[in-house]
Amino acid sequence: MNKSRQKELTRWLKQQSVISQRWLNISRLLGFVSGILIIAQAWFMARILQHMIMENIPREALLLPFTLLVLTFVLRAWVVWLRERVGYHAGQHIRFAIRRQVLDRLQQAGPAWIQGKPAGSWATLVLEQIDDMHDYYARYLPQMALAVSVPLLIVVAIFPSNWAAALILLGTAPLIPLFMALVGMGAADANRRNFLALARLSGHFLDRLRGMETLRIFGRGEAEIESIRSASEDFRQRTMEVLRLAFLSSGILEFFTSLSIALVAVYFGFSYLGELDFWSL
């Protein structure tokens, strides 16, 4: 599949989000609210630790901040749960609409055109591959906007308190999407090949299952069993390739996240020791 075809399909996938645009917007809004609550949690925890450790304020005097912290945790858990429900509803609505479009197109094409591909391939397309679009609409599209807005919101919240820590986070954050995109392009190609292998395997298996009696009559049973085993092994290897790249992408995310946190921790450690003070610059 060439790049222009990929862009065309990606554009078509995004256009289908209009079917449930209202629910996707609600999901984005809930994700933004969740980001604000994360900042509120961090602020309450920092204030409580500051009062208890640095200022030696009795715990009884911190009842209100503790209560607000617990309420923030509960509220964020409810927002995350509600966002999952909204995202699932949006993905389900879009999947049903796309499946209806595919079935209508197959009905218009007629039996002669449908018979050009094995029945297993059509079954995989209508059932499995359309269902695999769910996370794209329920999670990926809403998260695209939040991946930019929430980190910027966190940096804006940190900047008035400590501009050096905000600059460290701002400097390391762009490295995460850059390297994840490089790995993600390889994972996308591997996943595309995996889908094609799955469609071929489904059609191959269903055709052999239908002609089982004929294969037995002509003594081809063992040969076809070996053929299916070989196709299944090829699909297994392709699946492991996709999983390997997916874990690599997750590892890159964890690495750069840990790097930014480590740099901030080193900065604060040296600051508390009096070895480093950007405020005097």
144-166 pLDDT, tens per residue? 888 888 888 888 888 888 787 78
Length of the chain: 281
Distance CA 198, CA 122 (A): 11
Query: What local confidence, expressed as pLDDT, does residue 280 receive?
Result: 44
User: By the 8 A CB rule, do 161 and 264 touch?
Assistant: no
User: What are the boundaries of each domain within the chain?
Assistant: 18-158, 165-281
Written as six digits, the tokens of 145 are 């906007």
Q: How far is residue 8 from each of residues 3, 14, 15, 128, measured CA to CA in Å? A: 9, 10, 11, 22
Query: What local confidence, expressed as pLDDT, does residue 46 receive?
Result: 85
- How many C-alpha atoms does 37 have within 13 Å on its Cβ side? 19
Q: How far is residue 255 from each of residues 158, 179, 180, 258, measured CA to CA in Å? A: 22, 11, 11, 5
User: By the 8 A CB rule, do 206 and 122 touch?
Assistant: no
Helix axes 21-49, 141-158, angle to 10 degrees: 30
pLDDT tens digit string along 106-159?
A: 778 777 776 766 666 666 677 777 887 888 888 888 888 888 888 888 888 888
Query: Judging by beta carbons within 10 Å of its beta carbon (0-12, 13-18, 19+), is residue 47 exposed, middle or buried?
Result: middle
When the pLDDT of each residue in the chain is averaged and rounded to a whole number, the result is 78
Backbone angles phi, psi at 276, to 5 degrees: -145, 125
Residue whose tokens read 């906007």: 145
3 state DSSP class of 122: helix
Residue 82 scores a pLDDT above 90: yes
The amino acid sitting at 153 is L
Distance CA 44, CA 246 (A): 35
Fold topology of 165-281: ABC transporter transmembrane region fold (1.20.1560)
Q: Roughly how many angstroms between the first and final C-alpha of the chain, as a whole number?
A: 55
Q: Does an H or E element contain 153, and which?
A: helix 141-158
Q: What is the rounded average pLDDT of the residues 225-233?
A: 74
Written as six digits, the tokens of 11 are 């554009």
3 state DSSP class of 2: coil
Query: What local confidence, expressed as pLDDT, does residue 85 receive?
Result: 94
